[in-house]
Structure 1
Amino acid sequence: MSPAQATQASIERTALRRSIVAAAALGGLAMVWGVASELRILLLDGAYALIGIALTWFGLQAARAVEEGPTKRFPFGRDAFTPLAVLLQGVALAGTLLYALADAVVLLREGGDPVATRSLVLYGLISALGAAAVYVSLRRTGSDSDLVGAEIATWRASAVLSVGMVVGAVVAIVLDESTSLDVTAYVDPVLVILACVALAPTPVGLLRSGVRELLQGAPSAEVQESVRAVVDQVQNQFGLDEPIVRMRKVGRKLFLEVDFVVEPDGWQVSDEDDVRRAVLAGLEPLGFELWAYIELTTDRSLVE
């Protein structure tokens, strides 16, 4: 692991620990407040945060395993732990939202349950400020880690949920005081349903990302464009034909295969090494742990 990669790994660990502490504080507050006030939306918020603690801890262990690098048992390293952690986070969050959604629908069908809307406003403000502060703090780390990215997405969703609580509760208070409608009984289940809908893209995105990497799918379009730009530059530099390029990303590791088809007897091994060095040097600024296979061959059938 290069010094730059070691620095990024340290930033990743610090960010994950910070997220765990914040989730424990806000999640604990939500559960206690939710039980005391019998507000399902607060219990959802607390469960969302506390489940996240276990998943973040797993992510932290995954990061440590990845840092150990290749071993005899895992000659290519254990980078697959990273997308696995992201996938599990998506599964757990999706399960939490589905349960909360079903519970809210049942409560709504039963006529709702009156709640203390002013208490909901106060909690929502505290939670929104706390979640937003953690979100900004993690963004400022500048980490491009998938694990930190998952935490950022989770805290952004938590902040949106809290803002939704405040808005919904304020609307209910206004309607309750200005009309004869009794809407307080429906505030809690309606807010839970709206929150589940608003938060749904977060676990969906985590699931998509985790599955794509575990199935060895191609990296994001942005990464592909950056890699392709380097390969095109090397191709033009050495006067090579269009290569066959394959790539996949697992955690911080980028696997790349570039196959150039050349004319017989025109290239030496040292020339091939020059091409390899040029590609590796061009990709270094991307910051990935690179596993690159750059080959020159005279037989296209060997690389197709």
Structure 2
Amino acid sequence: MKSNNQDSNILKISAYGALFFAVMGISWGIIANSQMIIFDGLYSFISFGLSLLSLFAYSFIQKEDQKRFQYGKDIIEPLVIIFKASAIIAMCLFAVSSSIIDLLKGGRDVALGSAAMYALIATVLCMFVYFMMKTKQGNSEFVRAEAAQWLMDTILSAAVLSGFVMALMLNQTTLSFLTPYVDPTMVLIVSLYFLKMPIRMLINNAKELLMMAPSTDIQNQVEQAVQRAKVKYNFYEDATRVTKVGKTIFIEINFVLSKETTIHNVDELDVLREELDTELHIEGYNKWFTLSFTNDRKWAF
């Protein structure tokens, strides 16, 4: 329960932090006439909405409702993260198109000193929030996704800061005519770079929705435990299925018995079930464990 409350509090901090950066970024961007800062503010505004969505979904998942959700509510987690990733991808693609249009129009004149000051403040504050979330996060995919968003915002702000400092230096040289192109160029580069992380989030959580196999580490742990039991009790064959949805790992093991199998009654089967349940404990995850036995392999496969 303590871990659940901590995750909920972290999500609230993330939401309030995103709202603060949204207001600051959009306002400062309009004053400084910087598309890059406005993009940063819009990203924070979208993050605020997505953080509220995560908080609502997280709270909903924590409320037990076994009558309606007999297999749990974990499927909601990848659904929400896919929506979040899709929203960030859409925003990045919009920013790419806007920056290209600005470049074709001859760039954008920006109040460089003001813009650089914003970027410095944003970089420091975003980094602080990210490390706070990183050190306190539990095993919630929601919190991990929020931390990933703040990491992206930190990288964005640092890139903006570097770009504006370079523009200030460039403005003092004979190449000052290139200064208007700095802001839209940064938007273009950062937007394209940002696409990588939400695309990865989208793919990983789509695999969970499709109930595909989990990470190799989880599969290996399950397979090793199954093979040890198979050898120890002389089972003829096994069929093992594993998938991960949110914080729950679903494990189904079917053993096909043979004449040499050393288990002969239900009590001994339950002893094995207890052994496997202990061996298959995976830190940080809930487990849905089903173990079946049959003499006919058609019921296993």
User: TM-score range, shorter-chain basis?
Assistant: over 0.9
Aligned partner letter, 2:290: Y
1:82 Cα shift? Answer: 0.6
> Conserved in 1, the CA contact under 8 Å of 2:160 and 2:186?
yes
Contact 1:86-1:209 within 8 A present in 2 as well: no
Answer whether contact 2:34 2:108 (CA < 8 A) is retained.
no
SS of the residue 2:68 aligns to: coil
Partner residue in 2 for 1:40: 35
1:290 is displaced (CA, Å) by: 1.2
Q: Distance in 1 between matches of 2:42 and 2:142?
A: 20
Q: How many residues are matched?
A: 299
- Check 1:45–1:71 CA distance in 2 against 1; reply closer, same or farther (3 A cut): same
Matched residue type, 2:2: T
- The residue aligned with 1:133 is 128
Give CA deviations for 1:5-30 in whole Å, capped at 9, x if unaligned.
Answer: x3332222111111111111122111
Structure 2 equivalent of residue 156 of structure 1: 151
Aligned residue type for 1:272: L
Q: Which of 283, 294, 297 lines up with 1:297 in the alignment?
A: 294
SS at match of 1:286: coil
What SS is found at the alignment partner of 1:219? Answer: coil
In 2, the alpha carbon distance for the partners of 1:90 and 1:234 equals 41
Distance 1:257 1:126 in 2: 51
What TM-score, normalized to structure 1? Answer: 0.92
* Distance in 2 (alpha carbons) for counterparts of 1:161 and 1:296: 54
Q: How large is the Cα RMSD of the aligned pairs?
A: 1.8
User: Residue 272 in 1 paired to residue 284 in 2?
Assistant: no
Task: Confirm or deny: 8 A CA contact 2:129 2:150 kept in the other structure.
Answer: yes
Q: Which residue of 173, 177, 180 maps to 1:182?
A: 177
TM-score w.r.t. the length of structure 2 is: 0.93
The farther-off stretch of 51-60 and 81-90 is 51-60
Q: Aligned partners of 1:225 and 1:254: how far apart in 2?
A: 13
For residue 82 of structure 1, what is the aligned residue in structure 2?
77
Report how far residue 118 of structure 1 moved: 2.0
Matches for 1:55-70 after TM superposition, within 5 Å: 55-70=50-65
Which runs of 5 or more residues in structure 2 are unaligned?
Answer: none
Aligned twin of 1:3: none
Measure how far apart 1:204 and its partner are.
0.5
Deviation, 1:264, is 4.7
Distance 1:125 1:41 in 2: 14
Shift of 1:44: 0.9
Aligned-partner residue type, residue 198 of structure 1: Y
Contact 1:108 1:186 in 2 (8 A): yes
In percent, how many aligned pairs have the same letter?
27
Pick one of 222, 243, 259 that aligns with 2:238: 243
4+ residue segments displaced more than 6 Å: none
Q: Deviations over 1:221-253 (max 9, x none)?
A: 233233334334444444445632111111111
Matched, 1:166 2:164: no
- Could you say if the C-alpha distance between residues 8 and 245 of structure 1 is closer, same or farther in structure 2, counting changes exceeding 3 Å? farther
Contact persistence 2:235–2:260 (CA under 8 A): no
Of residues 253, 259, 263 in structure 2, which corresponds to 1:258?
A: 253
Amino acid at match of 2:99: A
Q: How far apart in 2 are the matches of 1:234 and 1:16?
A: 42
Secondary structure at 1:73 match in 2: coil
Matched position secondary structure for 2:177: coil
Give the superposition deviation at 1:138.
0.7
Where does structure 1 lack aligned partners over 5 or more consecutive residues? 1-5
Bigger shift: residues 110-119 or 171-180: 171-180
Question: Who is 1:281 aligned against?
Answer: 278
Given that 1:104 and 1:192 are in contact with CA atoms closer than 8 Å, whether structure 2 keeps it comes out as yes
- 2:21·2:44 contact (CA, 8 Å) conserved in 1? yes
| d(CA) in 2 for partners of 1:46, 1:226 | 44
Alpha-carbon displacement from aligned partner over 1:98-127 (angstroms, at most 9, x marks no partner): 111101101101111111222221111111
Quick one: distance in 2 between partners of 1:237 and 1:8? Answer: 38
Answer yes or no: is the 8 Å Cα contact 2:234–2:258 preserved in 1. no
Q: 1:196 aligns with which of 191, 195, 217?
A: 191
**Partner Cα distance (1:36, 1:133) in 2:** 25
Secondary structure at the aligned position of 1:204 is classed as: helix
